[in-house]
Structure 1
Amino acid sequence: MKMDLNEAEKKSGNLNDKSKYVLYGVEDTPSLPMCFLFGLQQAIMCIGGTLSIPFILSGLLCASSGDVTSTLLSITMFMCGIATILQCLFGIRLGIVQGGSHTFIAPIVAMMALDKWRCPESEDSEQRPLNDTSGVQDGDEIWQSRMREIQGNLIVASITQLVLGCTGMLGIIIQFIGPLTIAPTISLIGLSLTGVAIQFNKYQWGIAFLSLSLTLVFSLYLREIKIPLPAYNRKRGCRLVRYPLFQLFPVILSICISWLFCHILTITDVFPNNSTIPSYMARTDSRLEILERAPWFYWPYPFQFGIPTVSAAGYVAFLAATISSIIESVGDYYAAARISGAPPPPAHALNRGIAMEGLSSIVSGMVGSGHGTTSYSQNVGAIGITKVASRAVFLTAGLILVFCGVVGKFGAALTLIPDPVIGGTLTVLFGIVSAVGLSTLKFIDMDSTRNLTILGTALILGLMIPQYISNPENAALIDTGNSELDQVIKVLLGTAMFVGGVVGFILDNTVPGTDEERGIIAWRKSLSSSHDTETADSTALQMYEYPYVTKYLRKINCCTYIPVSPVFNKNIEFNCSCCHRNKKQENITEVGYDNKAAFDEDSTAENSSRL
């Protein structure tokens, strides 16, 4: 270990005020061993959300073979790594882990419920002799034909997301978003995931509570305790340093201890051997067959299952899921920036983030993962616990996930982590995400009846409407006469963060209120790193720009109008005629002109020189 706590604190002191509680900021790079451990911790945290998707898909695709599940698992982990690397390097450039989105499960369920995609009867296969392999190819075609339908609709819907990000339409909408929109959106991301946590915890609540308790003890009670560990550098040689081990690795420590405890209970047969009993999933050998069947090496490649097919109903359903995923990701971007102590992502960074998610989902559809990619809220919450927001750490996590996908045995070994162990840790992280959303309320006037009404309405509707829509008794409630439109409405209204965010957005922008009351002034001032000069603001936002490239893009005039360009936000603000007209008075004060006449005279001269 080349950096002790004091050195880390010195590095963190160079960041803005919001990162004073972060040991490694976005642009900091830990030592190679620490970077690997931090990255492994983030990779493990996304496994909980990633593992369940291949198991769900294999059932929906009518694939009874465990080899199909193993294949889908390798593809999923491979795409998680590729999407994470693309997002950190070329997208939002924050500490974000991209993974499989459960939002896309809803349209897949709806598609597979159609008569032509229902699973065939298995009578013929039961009557076939054991040594008859004539139906093997037909069995593969059963699930591969369904996968091709999913692939095609996912690719087309993701192209729409890519266009949405590249055209900058999202950046325009962001200008109207304030704390009363961000708070319910981010909070409902965590609150709506309680069902996901329950699905993992229900198998063994005792183990889940153990994992949860260890995470809380390490991150809260023992965070100030520094463990003496051996270290070495060239200047000082071998020595002992006191390192905040519990603060930096609470997640991986709690998972390892809980996993070991589950292994002890497994070999002593405390957990049942009967797979029909829920607590069987707490055994460390419950998925051992996946490890045995997984190949040593597997490289996903495009269209390995055939040429994808497209349908109108499937596209509309996947488009609804894509829109919900975009809303969730935008909330995660703001949460990641805030919890990392970074400035709020500018318009061009948001555009690139959404565009990169669309591109990753296109690739995901091509290789046959069966789902799109989205940002993982639990990994954003992990930043609040570990105090590590380094971009290098998340790039390392992406490389680890790619390695897990390519080396099938390694990835399958991680599937042996019992579900309750992952679930207990996820419970804490989901709560942190909700708390991060609520923390933005400090910028608004909490004594205002207007603000309290908007916030309360957004939260209650965000929780109530999706719960009502998802109730099987209300399956026939939405009936417009068009099944595709019904599916779109159900998916949108069934997404808590979409409902709460839209309600908060509409009310906050239509109900009369001053910018000070709405928290707009304090929000923008605080999240702009509290710098007074334009130069300082530009320096703070450099983390969202491409190194070595942005300075050349500034010399190319056409880059001014490209929404995903790092120079798009600044040039549009000062050169676009409509924005120039709307923000003229604000710019007069920012650039230091004495009066409006001097500003107009200089602007006219500048425009004339350009012509």
Structure 2
Amino acid sequence: MFTSGLQHVAAMYAGVVAPPMIVGPAVGLSATDTAFLMGASLFTAGIATLLQTLGFWKVGARLPFVNGVSFAGVTPMVAIGRDRGADGITVIFGAIIVASVLGFLLTPYFSKLVRFFPPVVTGTVITLIGVSLLPVAFTWSQGGNSTADDYGSMKNIGMAALTFVIVLALRKVLRGFLQQIAILLGLVAGTVIAAPLGMANLDAIKNADIVGFPTPFHFGAPQFEIAAIVSMCVVMLVCMTESTADMLALGRIVDRPADERIIEGGLRADTLGSAISPLFNGFMCSAFAQNIGLVAMTKVRSRFVVAAGGGILILLGLCPVAASVIALVPLPVLGGAGIVLFGSVAASGIQTLATAALEKGENALIVAASVGIGLIPIAAPEFYHAFPKDALVVLDSGISTGCIVAIALNLAFNHLGRKGGSDEVQQDAQGSGKPDGVTVPAPAAALH
């Protein structure tokens, strides 16, 4: 049980620590505070996983489900915290708490709303998540700090390119479980090569304790701002949609079809875990699709095995040194691996769109318009410079704006004003032969 649980941890470890590694520096946190944030994310991911697998009352899908920090919130969180200085992280935590509580209250009704989040919507959003994160990988590849003398140097970009090639080579030559953790192995290999060149950062691990507890409200009491809350509410809807699709897919794999009761319980675990997470300095949690592929590959379907993985995550979160080890990884190494990781997210979105019958109705137009609007903050960062500052929290996130446009256009073209024949149109939007909102993630897909 322990070794099988450890496999799940290894498959999702990089996905859990990557968001705090992006958000921490973006909001001005030091290497030590960013390492603390990573430990907190591991700890809260363990709590969320236990809520999902073991559960209580009506909370938990009680399926072999791993929960962790969702990539969907990274870009909006960076937009929220970027211009708020020391208060940025507390505003993020406040927005997550409110969005999670609202999500928890919405869960009994959300299963009835899933038809408004078909593959044409979810595929667009997942694609935008990956594309929005790629500039982060490019910045890492150059060295991370644009004011540094070696920013964009041949040394930095060369190390990123070497790590990129190593990850691709490992994915090609390895098989089974090792192939699942190729990105993690690539990070290790890249760090080993970069360390003798003086590129590894030892500050975080030097100051880390062997044993520690994620102090509640370590960065201060959460702050609540309307614009930030609206942005994270959009992210919560995205996370709930992805988790619903993942539960339906996992239910088929373990021969326990996810009915409305299971979906409600799973979404309650997601939202409750997300509401608790900021108390311990963690972020919004949702299902990890790559672990569904691991269940399918290993045929180990016990939820208690995944619960053991949740326990391991909690132990890692209680050991700051373990969380700090990942801080040793040089940013160019992270950048090289990040291109593959974030590109895989975009590829997963494209895979979802392949099931959305884009040749039918106005589905292609929905994707075109939503992606076009979602790319504005990436392609033209100053596009909304004249808008009110509070509006920029939503507008500067291509994920939030793209999701809103996709939902609105899907309602306009595939739901409103259609009678009788609308069932066929809506089925085309959903994708042929699959329940509403269902996508079956590829084993190596890194949706988070």
Query: Could you say which TM-score interval applies, normalised by the shorter chain?
Result: 0.7 to 0.9
Structure 2 vs 1, CA of residues 265 and 39 (structure 1 numbering), >3 Å: closer, same or farther?
Answer: closer
**Partner of 2:112 in structure 1?**
172
| 2:443 alignment partner in structure 1 | none
Alignment pair present for 1:208 and 2:164: yes
Does the aligned pair in 2 maintain the 1:378–1:430 contact within 8 Å?
Answer: no
> What is the one-letter code of the residue matched to 2:270?
E
State TM-score, norm by structure 1: 0.56
Q: Specify which structure has the bigger relative contact order, considering alpha-carbon pairs within 8 angstroms and separated by 6 or more residues.
A: 2
Higher Rg = 1
User: Alignment partner for residue 359 of structure 1, among 260, 272, 277?
Assistant: 272
Q: Give the match for residue 80 of structure 1.
A: 45
Kept after mapping to 2: 8 A contact 1:316/1:488: yes
Is this contact kept in 1: 2:127–2:347, CA < 8 A? Answer: no
> How is 1:418-497 mapped onto 2 (pairs within 5 angstroms)?
418-420=333-335, 422-423=337-338, 425-427=340-342, 429-430=344-345, 432-441=347-356, 444=357, 448=360, 450=361, 454-470=362-378, 471-476=380-385, 478-479=387-388, 483-484=389-390, 487-488=393-394, 491=397, 494-497=400-403
Match in the other structure for 2:312 = 400
The within-5 A match list for 1:164-243 is 164-165=106-107, 168-199=108-139, 203=157, 204-218=160-174
Alpha-carbon contact 1:382-1:429 (below 8 Å) kept = no
Is the contact made by 1:304 and 1:367 (CA closer than 8 Å) also made in structure 2?
A: yes
> Would you say the 8 A contact 2:68–2:286 is kept in 1?
yes
- Among residues 294, 298, 306, which one is paired with 2:208 in the alignment? 294
Counterpart AA for 1:338: A
Taking structure 2 as the reference length, the TM-score comes to: 0.74
State the SS of the aligned residue for 2:48: helix
- Aligned partner letter, 2:416: T
Taking every aligned residue pair, what percent have the same amino acid on both sides? 18
C-alpha contact 1:171 1:350 (8 A) present in aligned 2: yes
Spell out, residue by residue over 1:155-191, the C-alpha distance to the aligned partner (whole angstroms, 9 max, x if none). 33432222222xx232221245545445444554445
- The answer to whether structure 1 residue 251 and structure 2 residue 180 are counterparts is yes
Q: Which ranges in structure 2 are unaligned for 5 or more consecutive residues?
A: 143-156, 437-448
Distance 1:108 1:521 in 2: 32
Q: Which amino acid aligns with 1:433?
A: S
Cα shift at 1:465: 0.5
Cα shift at 1:300: 2.0
Matched, 1:321 2:232: yes
From 510, 531, 546, give the equivalent of 2:416.
Answer: 510
Listed as ranges, the matches of 1:363-378 within 5 Å are: 363-369=276-282, 371-376=283-288
Residue equivalent to 2:98? 156
Residues 1:337 and 1:422: Cα distance change in structure 2 (over 3 Å): farther
Write the distance in 2 (CA, Å) between the matches of 1:379 and 1:88.
13
Q: Tell me, yes or no, if the aligned pair for 1:77 and 1:402 is still in contact at 8 Å.
A: yes
SS in 2 for 1:98: strand
Alpha-carbon distance in 2 for matches of 1:261, 1:169:
47
How many residues matched?
407
